[in-house]
């Protein structure tokens, strides 16, 4: 019979917290980032329709924005919502989320380095 491992609620809470990262932009706003669901980018591409891939690359980071100053942000579902979130973030907020995504979720993030080190040990 196979062993079954159940995660404790505290483990689930730790995993959720680890998947979040808060950055501060030049205006002092606290922007909470959260790794989006795997399908989120596909849904965004479908929603945006026939637009240049460069535009998709530029707006994809918006999928990570979970809150601005503790005000929850929903994933944009229309081009107008994309524009509204970009306007709300402005250049300062956008720069902060790009930095935060690279720090926490990018190839050189601490989580990625740890995962790579763990893989090399096994």
Tens of pLDDT along 42-54? 999 999 999 999 9
pTM of the model: 0.74
DSSP E strands in the chain: the ranges are 20-24, 30-34, 65-68, 71-72
Give which of 93, 87, 62, 86 is closest to 75, Cα–Cα: 62
Q: Once rounded to an integer, what is the mean pLDDT over residues 15-31?
A: 85
Tens of pLDDT along 68-103? 999 999 999 999 999 999 999 999 999 999 999 999
Q: Which residue has the higher pLDDT, 72 or 10?
A: 72
CB 76 within 8 A of CB 62: yes
Give the pLDDT confidence score for residue 115 in this predicted structure: 61
Give the pLDDT confidence score for residue 19 in this predicted structure: 80
For the chain, what are the domain ranges? 20-121
Give the pLDDT confidence score for residue 106 in this predicted structure: 76
């Amino acid at each position: 019979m196979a062993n079954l491992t159940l995660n404790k609620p505290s483990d689930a809470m730790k995993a959720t917290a680890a998947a979040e990262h808060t950055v501060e932009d030049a205006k002092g706003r606290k922007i909470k980032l959260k790794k989006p669901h795997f399908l989120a980018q596909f849904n965004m591409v479908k929603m945006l329709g026939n637009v240049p891939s460069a535009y998709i690359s530029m707006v994809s980071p918006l999928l990570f924005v979970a809150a601005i100053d503790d005000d929850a942000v929903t994933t944009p579902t229309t081009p107008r919502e994309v524009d509204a979130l970009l306007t709300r973030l402005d250049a300062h907020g956008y720069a902060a989320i790009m930095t935060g995504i690279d720090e926490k979720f990018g190839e050189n993030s601490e989580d990625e380095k740890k995962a790579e080190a763990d893989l090399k040990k096994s």
